[in-house]
Amino acid sequence: MATDDQIRESQRAAWTQLSSGWRKWELAIMQQLGPVAESMIEQMGGGDGTRHLDIASGTGEPGLTFARRWPGSQVVLTDLVPEMLDIATQRAQVDGLTNVEAVVCSADALPFDDDSFDTISVRFGYMFFPDPARATAELRRVISPGGRLCAAVWTRPDENPWITVIMDAISAEVPTPPPAPDAPGIFRFAEPGSVGALFHQAALGDISEWDVGVQLVAPSPEQYWQMMGEHVSPAAVALAGMDEAARQRVRARTIAGLQAFDGSGAVRVPGVARCIVATK
Ligand SMILES: C[S@@+](CC[C@H](N)C(=O)[O-])C[C@H]1O[C@@H](n2cnc3c(N)ncnc32)[C@H](O)[C@@H]1O
């Protein structure tokens, strides 16, 4: 079994590599995931004066949406990977945001004092932490009493064709056994209540969860194929290990699999995220 340090290192390497894909496909990714950010912020609450911490921010969400909503708030974006946070910082500059700073760190070792933040968000980060219970304890430490923590994860694979279309096409070429249940992976917290249990263990209260539907829209099947291979880690890793002939077979299968989601040229592939909120 991989150690926590090995997991952190392999996540760092994977996301450093994917950062250019996240930059290239920013618009489509942000459109797909925007409803999740909106829903998290609505449930977490906030306002001018709120000190907000965004964990595993990647290219900046939902922290940047929070900062835009309340220009009088103070938002700290954090991530393990400087290349992802560089994109977030550039997005903040383009938007003229002056209430945002970025700090490179791991979710389980935060360089902040106890009780420093009023709200914390973690959108699609929990599944990659080496020790999610330790990370949750760390999040609890830095949030002030009465503060709100909100996370988002993916529900079951069958509810997320936006990724299973390509992953099924890859599995038909090279069998890809699912990762061990407690190893990092996109569907690690698909089970209802699994993040809530971590929150409960960390002595957070007032826990509730709800699902949010999303849709990945690509102008054409070809663009879906390119986008997925360049920003989704299990797809990118699997495709990198194939020769060109195998990649072309996977491409053909992916494009055939998209027929069910074809809508006048553009493809619209659905998915479901689960949000979980708690109070310290
Ligand atoms: C799917 S991206 C999510 C980015 C962003 N929150 C969003 O929803 O658009 C996952 C992010 O988790 C980060 N990550 C992985 N392991 C981490 C860790 N131990 N601590 C902090 N961030 C981590 C990655 O670098 C990556 O940027």
State which ligand 1 atom lies nearest to the alpha carbon of 22. Answer: 9
Give the pLDDT of residue 70: 97
Give the pLDDT of residue 103: 98
State which ligand 1 atom lies nearest to the alpha carbon of 12. Answer: 25
Give the pLDDT of residue 20: 96
Give the pLDDT of residue 236: 92
Q: Within a domain: residue 120?
A: yes
Range of the domain at 54: 4-156+181-214+272-279
Q: Within a domain: residue 121?
A: yes
Q: Within a domain: residue 77?
A: yes
Q: Is this structure's pTM higher than 0.75?
A: yes
Give the pLDDT of residue 182: 87
For ligand 1, the distance from its centroid to the CA atom of residue 251, given in whole angstroms, is 27
Q: Within a domain: residue 262?
A: no
Measured by CA distance, the residue closest to atom 18 of ligand 1 is 106
Residues with CB under 6 A from ligand 1: 8, 11, 15, 33, 56-59, 61, 79-81, 84, 106-107, 123-125, 128-129
Give the pLDDT of residue 1: 79
Give the pLDDT of residue 245: 97
Give the pLDDT of residue 262: 81
Q: Within a domain: residue 139?
A: yes
Q: What is the mean pLDDT of each run of 10 residues along the chain (280 residues)?
A: 93 96 96 98 97 98 98 98 98 98 98 98 98 98 98 98 96 87 93 98 98 96 95 91 96 94 86 98
Measured by CA distance, the residue closest to atom 8 of ligand 1 is 123
Q: Within a domain: residue 200?
A: yes
Residues in contact with 261: Cβ distance below 8 Å, sequence separation at least 6, in sequence order: 161, 165, 267, 268, 269, 270
Q: Within a domain: residue 176?
A: no
Instruction: Report yes or no: 85 and 77 within 8 Å, Cβ to Cβ.
Output: yes
Q: How far is CA 85 from CA 155, 170, 223, in A?
A: 26, 30, 25
Give the pLDDT of residue 180: 85
Measured by CA distance, the residue closest to atom 14 of ligand 1 is 56
For ligand 1, the distance from its centroid to the CA atom of residue 224, given in whole angstroms, is 22
Q: What's the CATH code of the domain at 190? A: 3.40.50.150
Q: Within a domain: residue 13?
A: yes
Give the pLDDT of residue 267: 94
CA 134, CA 60: separation in Å to the nearest integer? 23
Give the pLDDT of residue 97: 98
- Total domains in the fold of the chain: 1
